[in-house]
Amino acid sequence: MGPKMSVWMVLAMAAVVCAAAGADSIESPPYTVVHAESDFEIRLYRPSTWITTPVEDISFSKATQIGFHKLFQYIQGANLNNSRVEMTTPVLTGIVPSAGPFCSSAFAIRFFVPHEFKDSPPLPLLDSDLTVENWDEKCVAVRAFSGFAKDTNVAQEAAQLEASLQNSKWANITDSEPKDGEDAYTIAQYSSPFKILGRVNEVWVSFPSSEGCHSALLNTKAGRVAP
């Protein structure tokens, strides 16, 4: 989400800011850190539910805006149940680079479904291209970065995560190419566009199975449960 904002974006983010001021906690998917290094960490996410919409575009920022706009309408009540859903973080953008025609990439924008609706999320409108995704637990390598996530830095951050992993015992994450249609990497955004300093973003790469996370947890007692 770049510094250029449209009206819906301002409204969406005002909702986030107000929720933050009121409840002082915005829900995020729960995970356990199984391993931490200075420049990345490995997390085991518990099973989670997401609302997802596909966007094809050449621009990460534009695709994220288009997708988030649809998700925002859904959480504001544009769903078959007319239910409003609290804003959560992070908003994910899954990326399969150059998957489409004319150098466009395939993006999937995802909203984390809060606990209240986990077992039965409001149903997407029939003509929307929103779907409910149920994720099994997921083992994910994560690199944090600050500033705005934008077209000029997201691929570099992903490459840096890959470089860090290659020099670690987690190198085998990079052995397996993503299968057809699977995201090569995901950008997780936590901050509203109004926030200039201390912005939080992450790049995620998922392991094909959660086995590595579980053996790391068994081998160390260092795992801690994130709030």
Ligand X SMILES: *[C@@H]1O[C@H](CO)[C@@H](O)[C@H](O)[C@H]1NC(C)=O
- Find the part of the chain contacting ligand X (CB under 6 A) among 45-53, 80-88, 92-100, 178-186: 80-88
Of the pair 152, 219, the CB lying nearest ligand X is at 219
Closest separation in Å from C-beta 164 to ligand X:
15
For the beta sheet containing 224-225, the strands, ordered from the edge strand earlier in sequence to the opposite edge, are: 131-135, 48-57, 105-112, 91-96, 185-189, 201-206, 138-145, 41-45, 31-36, 224-225
Closest separation in Å from C-beta 116 to ligand X:
9
Answer for which of 2, 30, 208, 223 binds ligand X (CB under 6 A) is 208
Closest separation in Å from C-beta 174 to ligand X:
10
Answer for which of 28, 59, 73, 83 binds ligand X (CB under 6 A) is 83
Residue 87: φ, ψ to 5°: -65, 145
Specify the length of the chain in residues: 227
Answer for which of 98, 120, 167, 220 binds ligand X (CB under 6 A) is 120
- Find the part of the chain contacting ligand X (CB under 6 A) among 1-9, 78-86, 94-102, 180-188: 78-86
Site residues for ligand X, window 32-61 (CB under 6 A)?
none
Site residues for ligand X, window 160-199 (CB under 6 A)?
169, 172
* 90: preceding bond cis by omega (within 30 degrees): yes
Type of residue numbered 40 = F
Please compute Rg for the chain using Cα positions.
17
Q: Return the closest-CA partner of residue 214 out of 72, 47, 12, 42.
A: 42
109 within 8 A of 63, measured Cβ to Cβ: yes
Q: Which residues sit at the interface with ligand X, rule CB under 6 A? A: 80-81, 83, 117, 120, 122-123, 169, 172, 208-209, 211-212, 215
